[in-house]
Chains A and B, each alone.
Chain A
C-alpha cells in the first residue's frame, strides 16, 4: 500500500508542476484580456483591433469596427470564464500539492476541493458554453460536456468521501 502511495506522491509532483504552468498561462491570459477590456472601456483609438487580436477573435470572423457592444460583452464573458478557470486549476493545484506532500488522497480537504472543481466545471457551461453558443463559436457540446463532467466529478467526490471512511478505518486498524 505504501508503494502505491509513493507512486501517487511522485506522479502528483509532476502534475503539480504541470498545473502550475497552466495556472501561470491562465493568469497571463486573464490579465492581458483585462487590460484590453480596460482599454476598450476607456475608448482609446486602437481599442477595438487590440481587443480582437488579444482575444484571438480574427479566426472566427470578427473584424474591428463591427458590433462593438457585442465585442465588449464577449470580452467580459471571456474574463469571467478566465476567472472560473483560474479557480478551477487553483483547486486542482491544491489537490496535487496535498498529494505530493504525501498526504492521503482521501483527506477531507481533497474531497472539498473535488466538490469545488465539480461545481466550477459545471459553471463553465454558463461562462464558456453559453457565450460560445450565442456567438456561434461552439455548438451544444460546449454546454453539455461541462455539465456531464461536473456531474461525473461530483460522483467521484462522493466516492472520495467514502474513501475517507475507509482510510479512517485503516488508520485505526494499523
Chain B
C-alpha cells in the first residue's frame, strides 16, 4: 500500500519539476537576452544584479532537473537507489552556490550591493539539510538492498 502512494506522488512531482525546469530555463534565457540587448544602458550594479538573477534561475533549474530525476525513480517504485544519493548531493551543492551568489555579485560590481547580505544563510541551511537527507537515503539504499536479498 505504501509504495503506491510513493509512486503516485513521485510521478506527479516529477512532472511538476520538469515543467518548472522548462519555465526557469526560459526565464534565464530571456534574462540573458535582456542583458545582451540592454548592455549599453545598464549600470554596472544593474548588470551584475541581472546576471545574478540569471545564474540563480539556472541553479533553480538544475535543482528542478535533479529533483525530477529523483521523483521519477520514486514514480517507478524504487526511490532508494544510489544515484539518488548523488542527486541530493548535487542539489545541496546548488544551494551552496546560491549561498555565495549575492556576495559574489556585490563584490564583482564596482558599486557593490550595500543592501544585500554577503552570504545567504538560508541557502546554507538548506544545503546542510539536503546533505543530511542524502545520508539518510544512503541508509535507505542499504535497507532496500537487504529487503531484496531477503526476498
A interface size (C-beta, 8 A): 36
Q: Does B16 count as interface, using CB distance less than 8 angstroms?
A: yes
Asked if A155 and B115 sit within 8 Å, CB to CB, the answer is: no
Asked if B128 and A148 sit within 8 Å, CB to CB, the answer is: no
Q: Does B22 count as interface, using CB distance less than 8 angstroms?
A: no
**Residues 62-97 of B contacting A (Cβ, < 8 Å):** 64, 67, 71, 74, 79-80
Which residues from A are CB-within-8-Å of B9?
154-155, 158
Q: Does A53 count as interface, using CB distance less than 8 angstroms?
A: no
Asked if B13 and A152 sit within 8 Å, CB to CB, the answer is: yes
Closest CB in chain A relative to B66 CB, distance in Å: 10
Asked if B135 and A173 sit within 8 Å, CB to CB, the answer is: no
Q: Does B150 count as interface, using CB distance less than 8 angstroms?
A: yes
Which residue of chain A has the shortest Cβ distance to B20 in the bound complex?
A148
Asked if B136 and A162 sit within 8 Å, CB to CB, the answer is: no
Q: Does A135 count as interface, using CB distance less than 8 angstroms?
A: no
Asked if B128 and A8 sit within 8 Å, CB to CB, the answer is: no
Q: Provide the bound-state CA to CA distance between A18 and B13, in Å.
A: 30
Q: Does A105 count as interface, using CB distance less than 8 angstroms?
A: yes
Q: Does A55 count as interface, using CB distance less than 8 angstroms?
A: no
